[in-house]
Structure 1
Amino acid sequence: MAPTGFTAAAGQSLEARILDGLDAEQRQVASTLAGPMCVLAGAGTGKTRAITHRIAYGVHSGVYKPQRVLAVTFTARAAAEMRTRLRDLGVGGVQARTFHSAALRQLQYFWPQAVGGPLPGLLDHKANVIAEAARRLRLSADRAAIRDLAAEIEWAKVSMLTPDTYARAAAGRAEPAGFDLVTVARLFQSYEDVKTDRNIIDFEDVLLITVGILQEDPKVAAAVREQYRHFVVDEYQDVSPLQQRLLDLWLGERGDLCVVGDASQTIYSFTGATSRHLLQFTKRFPDAAVVKLVRDYRSTPQVVQLANSLLAARTKQPWRGSGPDPWPAPLELAAQRPAGPAPSFTECADDEAEAAQVAARIRSLLEAGVPASEIAILFRTNGQSEAYEQALASAGIGYQLRGGERFFGRREVRDAMLQLRASARAAGTEPVPQLARDVLANLGYTAQAPQSSGAVRERWESLAALVALADELDLARGEAAGGVFTMQDFVAELEERAAAQHAPTVQGVTLASLHSAKGLEWDAVFLVGLSEGLMPISFADTDEAVDEERRLLYVGITRAREHLALSWSLARTPGGRANRKPSRFLDGLRPASSSRTGLRSGAHGAERTGRRRQSAPAHCRVCATLLTTGAERKVGRCANCPPGYDEHTFEALRAWRKEAAQEAGMPAFVIFTDATLAAIAEARPGSLQELSKLPGVGPAKLERYGQDVLRTLGSD
């Protein structure tokens, strides 16, 4: 019987059909089913397609039993996507999980017989426990210090260090939060003591305890190895020593392991990830089959050439570190798509000017027909996002902040799932897409997007994303694909996606850090803030750290399918000193003219003149001190001078903003920053015209929030 959504052509076996459409290297991956295999897969080369077809081919040819295959990847979203693809290929019984998910499942099952008693509670966040550990040692640690200490403890545990072995192994690492390594070791031990007292474990403990049980209990190890015979590990360049140890225990003495990775995309070494296991795979398995996937199906030749050139520039530099050069020869990608536009390089006067020109270019792309969901702005640090949020909001362009409110946590999505679940119990034979439209119409879905903006438009976009997902799944699994797709199937898919936070596509420009963009792709990508100190980041003070920053930029470049824009600014604030320089990584990549004024942008878009636009310096209206930050310029007052507004008015505006943000499901500062609220409170405008003259209140925000602001001022 053919799998749902996957039918064999007349006279063609199902196994042959599974291999159809794969290139020669992907076909080799998919058809080599026994023994160890190392797949070196460049960005955009179809690695997920190759390994899911490998599993499907193994199952349908009878070599694999689906229940005995374990596919492991690094994010819940990636695991959910892999399960979806496998279901579409008719092998839904295969386990596709993250390391932590697989280990937790085994721990929950084997804990009663291996340890006894109830499993300790699982700690979601370390902050409170670390704060308690610090108090026990009478150490002062603010929120930022606690965050840094949590990251350091996570690194230590995935590196399989204990409080006793930490200080020696961490010699040469930066001191987290300014604490010396001996103090960190003491806090590490205190953290473990607090967890013991509270009978809780953290996510690293899940892996450590599972490793301990498998090492010490032969019966448990034998049961796991009997259950799983074939392993696939994706993103193998990001495996940590602890994850590798767990994988070794799952395998035992066997070699049915397929690993997939790219050393040039190793960007998580700060978490303990290392490409060493990928690079040394053939030393451990000398008979391993090695396949290189270098045909890039994602990006245009122009984007691919830039990515290749970025990596090639590093190989020409002498290695100055101790020991052998850890930089492996990078894969050279070969573009398979037709030619596209050349990547652009833009130098801007300041951060606000850079954000404004990006918003203007995005508007042009939208008008040219590029969907908002296919556009992304990527930056090095999350702190850079606010300028782009404000620029997009002022331009009336919707956006979604990756890492912000989760899709399945939105009120309208929760309501939709309740109604869809209820309809599934009484559903007849009506096609799922139409039934979904009928159900969601009760919540505000319409075939045409509303003309209004704000919460109404955002609510519609959430519901439209669910409708689009129903269409997509019905096409892949329904009657047109030779299968049956019911409302019960749709609800089950939604519940699984909600558990894995595998959100459907929402219309809106994506704002994301370079790290969080790994594994994603868009038609148009804007790489912003590419100046020294941000790319590479200022604390990358070793050769190894700078190399990782280069790889991070490479990941950003390879997210783009067609349009790629790279930009940087010369100053932080309008009128500030132009003391920034473009990233060293752009040397030799950008046209010579991009370092001069011809490609610079002014505050309202790209200037075509030969002189950079300069804003006149602003001074505090109270003490006449030069204002140096955007927040100070907005209120016309330096931070040292007292505010000229009534606190009750300011708090009333903050209360209104909080309520509006909660209703819209967005961060409060996206509506108005505190600096803008302060300016409004001081000016107390009495009309929309007066409000429009205040900094931070653009046309889009005036239309969306103007009347609410005036009502709040009138009733404060």
Structure 2
Amino acid sequence: MNFAWDDDELNPEQSAAVIQNGNVFLIACPGSGKTRTLTYKIAYELSKITTHRDFVLAITYTNRAADEIRERVEDMGVDASQLWIGTIHSFCLEWIIKPYYIYEPDLAQGYSLIDLYDREKLLEELCLPYKLLKVTFHDCDFYFTPDGLHLACKNGSKVNAVKVVLTEYFKYLKKHRLIDFELILWYAFDILKNNQIAAKNLAGIFRNILVDEYQDTKELQYEIVSYILRKSSATNFFIVGDPNQAIYDSLGGYPIGLDDLKIKTGLDFHQMELSKNYRSSERVVSYFGNFNLYKTNIEACGKDKGYQSIVSYDREVSKDKLVLEIARIVKHNIVELAIVPRQICIIAPWWVHLASMCRKLSAELPEYTFDGPGMVPFARDVENIWYKISRIALTEPSPGMYIRRMRWAKEILVDFENLGMHLDNFNNKDFLRTCNSIKLDEHDGISYLRDFFAALIAEMSIDLECYPTLMQHHQTFFESSEKRVAQLAKEGIAEASDIKYFRKLFENRTGITVSTIHGVKGAEFDAVIAYGLLEGMVPHFSDANGQESAQKMLYVVASRARKNLFLISEVGRKRYGNEFYGPTRKLIDCNFRYDNF
């Protein structure tokens, strides 16, 4: 029996996209219910499966998005046992590299994943000889396309040094049989390119492939999916996103056009759209329409459509007064406009500006909490096994968390099995029961986790010395955590070492969000405050498509807001020498009647 819904659950555009047979290329404007539509499409296709051999594959941009969609599908009463949903990296690792690594010469003798902390530490060491050129690991981002390696760094004075650093980096990885996130994609692509059996097997498993946020998908990812699609005439492809929000160009983001997609996949598509914005007021929609590069259709249709929004632009506040001004805007929204703190977001283009801003605002507004960078005691390193275990260790057993914790437990057991552990008759329920039985009276966060991990190892009779990868992940996890806690304590966040502070990492956010433009994609807030809107930051000074990129970034910033939008190009931020950043040109060129605030 096919999954069905009431007329008031989806609008006509959304319903049409869900029930459309064949291949669909769906352009979705901000706030149009893209995730809702994708969720219903997945549920609908799952309900049509008639054999245990067929699966639905859904590729999301983040693990958080995957968790959210899976939970929604399960909440609708649909059996999700034949759904695989996750990031492209997780898919490539689980379905391509692990089963077929012996066909890839560089992997045939075995491999391990280098986690984010060790990767950063290694690149920092390799950059040391180029300190005078100010080369850091931040300059060493790269990505692959079908024709090979591409550097994210466009700074002419650093490029040659970065090439040398990355040459040494790849040598080190090869010598120690390590792969990182980008190499996961490259090797998956190479396996499918040279091994038609692998692509054919995958095509026989997945009858539907869905890709979210296509505008942020890399060209290599399209190639990986295309190898599978070309091996089956029975597999349908559903791709959804918004080209106006393609802000990952410098890291290989590839907002593919429909004609190119047809050529790459060899498929015909039904081009469809979601044009109803249910998020923002008419005034906000009218504003971000100024940055609608691809002239897609957008119509304000939500409950806040008629809200009398404040849209302001400040080009006069000085950098030295910026914290006080943002604090004033925050208080006005909460006290005068009755907006709750968790519905306020503060955005800047670069992480380096945000950690300091987050801490200064915490001091200026101690009555409110802030969820932002530099405020968490350990990194969200989803490839580190001990990080995965910490998610269970730091969350309480509850009905609302049961399904999520069960899924986490399953991931951990799969990792253990991949390390060669034999856990016969020990399932995810047993693992959760074991974790829940560990009771500790420890108030220091790091000590709590050390004791929890030790107790778990003892309960499961695991000898760490038999598993070098497990030991390395353990060492890395605590080195990174101790470094972060020490830094937070140094900067006045004394409570950072407390177990309550650690638990906050996995609680639903209740404070004011502080994030980058890239970090808030997909999110929405009643009030958005964006600063650092300066030429050289928005767009980035090394961006070859600067003005187009600036237009897309401003579109993303403005379209996060439901009700109020506050834009700031502060004065007095030094660039180099005696030069100062000026306002983003695309903002200056925007002819809009701003509010005085």
Confirm or deny a common fold (TM above 0.5).
Answer: yes
Q: CA deviation at 1:97?
A: 1.0
Q: Give how far 1:188 is off.
A: 3.8
User: What residue number does 1:220 align with?
Assistant: 198
**Aligned-residue offset at 1:73:** 1.5
How far off is 1:221 after superposition? 2.6
User: Per-residue deviation at 1:572?
Assistant: 3.7
Q: How does 1:186-225 map to 2 (within 5 A)?
A: 186-225=164-203
Residue identity matched to 1:336: C
Q: 2:94 corresponds to which residue?
A: 105
Deviation at 1:101, TM superposition (A): 0.2
What's 1:390 paired with? 360
Q: CA 1:129–1:411 in structure 2 vs 1: closer, same or farther (change >3 Å)?
A: closer
Deviations 1:670-699 (A, max 9, x none): xxxxxxxxxxxxxxxxxxxxxxxxxxxxxx
Q: Does 1:375 align with 2:344?
A: yes
Q: Distance in 2 between matches of 1:589 and 1:440?
A: 58
Pairing partner for 1:401 from 372, 378, 385? 372
1:21 aligns with 2:9: yes
Contact between 1:303 and 1:343, CA under 8 Å: does it hold in 2? yes
What SS does the corresponding residue of 2:5 show, helix, strand or coil?
A: helix
The answer on 1:568 being equivalent to 2:533 is no
Unmatched 5+ stretches in structure 2? 381-386, 403-435, 444-492
Q: What's the CA shift for 1:186?
A: 4.9
Asked whether 1:240 is paired with 2:221, we answer no
Q: Distance in 1 between matches of 2:363 and 2:268?
A: 56
Residue in 2 that maps onto 1:515: 518
Q: Residues 415 and 74 from structure 1, CA distance in 2 versus in 1: closer, same or farther, beyond 3 angstroms?
A: closer
Any conservation in 1 of the 2:312–2:594 contact (CA below 8 Å)? no
Query: Secondary structure of the residue that 1:512 maps to in structure 2?
Result: strand
Separation (CA, whole Å) in 1 of partners of 2:32 and 2:53: 25
Do 2:313 and 2:568's aligned partners in 1 also have CA atoms closer than 8 Å?
Answer: yes
- State the alpha-carbon separation in 2 of the partners of residues 262 and 440 from structure 1: 48
Change (3 A) 1:582 1:50: same
> Which residue does the alignment assign to 1:257?
237
- Structure 1 window deviating more from structure 2 (351-360 vs 106-115): it is 106-115
**SS of the residue aligned with 2:520?**
coil
TM-score, with length taken from structure 1: 0.60
CA spacing shift, 1:270–1:261, aligned 2, 3 Å: same
CA shift for structure 1 position 158: 4.2
Q: Check the 8 A contact 1:239/1:277 in 2, yes or no.
A: no
Cross-structure match for 2:456: none
Question: Structure 2 vs 1, CA of residues 64 and 290 (structure 1 numbering), >3 Å: closer, same or farther?
Answer: farther
1:538 to 1:179, Cα distance in 2 relative to 1, 3 A? closer
> 1:587/1:97 Cα in 2 relative to 1: closer, same or farther (>3 Å)?
same
Secondary structure at 2:26 match in 1: strand
- Report how far residue 95 of structure 1 moved: 0.7
How far residue 296 of structure 1 moved from its aligned partner, in angstroms, is 0.5
Code of the residue aligned with 2:311 in structure 1: it is P
CA deviations over 1:94-133 (Å, ceiling 9, x no partner) = 1111110001112123335777866311112434444666
1:143 and 1:82 map into 2 onto residues whose CA distance is 45
- The code of the aligned residue for 1:401 comes to G
Q: 1:131 to 1:263 in 2, by over 3 A?
A: same
Counterpart position of 1:331: 296
Contact residue 99 and residue 243 of structure 1 kept, 8 A: yes
Q: Aligned partners of 1:558 and 1:176: how far apart in 2?
A: 34
- Are residues 1:525 and 2:525 paired? no
Task: Look up the equivalent residue of 1:389 and give its one-letter code.
Answer: R
Note if 1:42 corresponds to 2:29. Answer: yes
Q: Secondary structure at the match of 2:39?
A: helix
Structure 1 residue identity aligned to 2:99:
Y
Give the drift of 1:291: 0.6
With 518-527 and 79-88 compared, the bigger mean Cα shift is at 79-88
Is the Cα–Cα contact under 8 Å of residues 60 and 66 in structure 2 kept in the other structure?
yes
Contact 1:348 1:570 in 2 (8 A): yes
Q: CA deviation at 1:521?
A: 1.3
- In structure 2, what is the equivalent of residue 550 of structure 1? 551
The 1:62/1:566 distance shift into structure 2, 3 A limit, reads same
Residue 570 of structure 1 aligns to a residue whose secondary structure is coil
The change in CA–CA distance for 1:118 and 1:362 in structure 2 (over 3 A counts) is same
CA distance in 2: counterparts of 1:187 and 1:440, whole angstroms: 45
Deviation at 1:569, TM superposition (A): 2.2
Q: How does 1:432-447 map to 2 (within 5 A)?
A: none
Instruction: For 1:591 and 1:515, locate their aligned partners in 2 and report how far apart those are by CA, in whole Å.
Output: 25
Q: d(CA) in 2 for partners of 1:588 and 1:345?
A: 13
Question: 1:412–1:215: structure 2 CA closer, same or farther, 3 Å change rule?
Answer: closer
SS at match of 1:43: coil
**CA offset at residue 293 of structure 1?**
0.8
Is the 2:192–2:227 contact (alpha carbons within 8 Å) kept by the matching residues of 1?
A: yes
Check if 1:351 corresponds to 2:319.
yes
For 1:175 and 1:142, locate their aligned partners in 2 and report how far apart those are by CA, in whole Å.
Answer: 14
Alpha-carbon distance between aligned partners in 2 of 1:565 and 1:67, rounded to the nearest angstrom: 49
Pick one of 505, 508, 514 that aligns with 1:505.
Answer: 508
Structure with max Cα Rg: 1
CA deviation after TM superposition for structure 1 residue 268, in Å: 0.5
> 1:440–1:300: structure 2 CA closer, same or farther, 3 Å change rule?
farther
Find the residue that maps to 1:280 and give its secondary structure: helix
Counterparts of 1:218 and 1:379, CA distance in 2: 45
Correspondence 1:69 to 2:56: yes
SS of 1:417 mapped into structure 2: coil
CA contact (8 A) 2:22 2:269 kept: yes
Report deviation, 1:266.
Answer: 0.5
Give the C-alpha shift of residue 228 in structure 1.
1.5
Aligned partner of residue 17 in structure 1, secondary structure: coil
CA distance in structure 1 between the partners assigned to 2:203 and 2:171 by the alignment: 33
Report deviation, 1:555.
Answer: 0.5
Per mean C-alpha deviation after superposition, the further-off stretch among 249-258 and 106-115 is 106-115
Classify 1:144/1:513 alpha carbon distance in 2 versus 1 (closer, same or farther; 3 Å). farther
1:17–1:173 distance in 2 versus 1, CA, 3 Å: closer
Distance 2:104 2:573 in 1: 58
Cα deviation 1:226-248 (Å, max 9, x = unaligned): 22121001111112121111111
Q: Select 2:38's aligned residue among 25, 38, 51.
A: 51
Instruction: Give the residue type in structure 2 aligned to 1:514.
Output: I
Change in Cα spacing, 1:281 to 1:416, as seen in structure 2 (3 Å) is closer
Structure-2 change in CA distance of 1:280 and 1:361 (3 Å):
same
> Which position in structure 1 is the counterpart of 2:137?
147
Q: Secondary structure at the match of 2:371?
A: strand
- Whether the 8 Å CA contact 1:229–1:256 is kept in 2: the answer is yes
The alpha-carbon distance between structure 1 residues 191 and 570, as it changes in their structure 2 partners (threshold 3 A), is: closer
Offset at residue 28 of structure 1 (A): 0.9
Task: Name the aligned partner's letter for residue 177 of structure 2.
Answer: N
CA distance in 1, matches of 2:19, 2:155: 49
* 3-state SS in 2 of match to 1:524: strand
> Residues 306-705 of structure 1 correspond to what in structure 2 (within 5 A)?
306-311=287-292, 329-337=294-302, 338-340=305-307, 341-367=309-335, 368-385=337-354, 386-387=356-357, 389-396=359-366, 397-402=368-373, 404-405=375-376, 416-417=394-395, 455=495, 503-540=506-543, 542=544, 544-572=545-573, 581-587=582-588, 589=590, 599=596
CA drift at 1:509:
0.8
Q: Is the 8 A contact 2:46 2:80 kept in 1?
A: no
For the 8 Å contact 1:70–1:231, the answer to whether it is kept is yes
Q: Classify the secondary structure of the residue corresponding to 2:395.
A: helix
* Kept after mapping to 2: 8 A contact 1:42/1:294: yes
Aligned CA distance change for structure 1 residues 87 and 344 (closer, same or farther; 3 Å): same
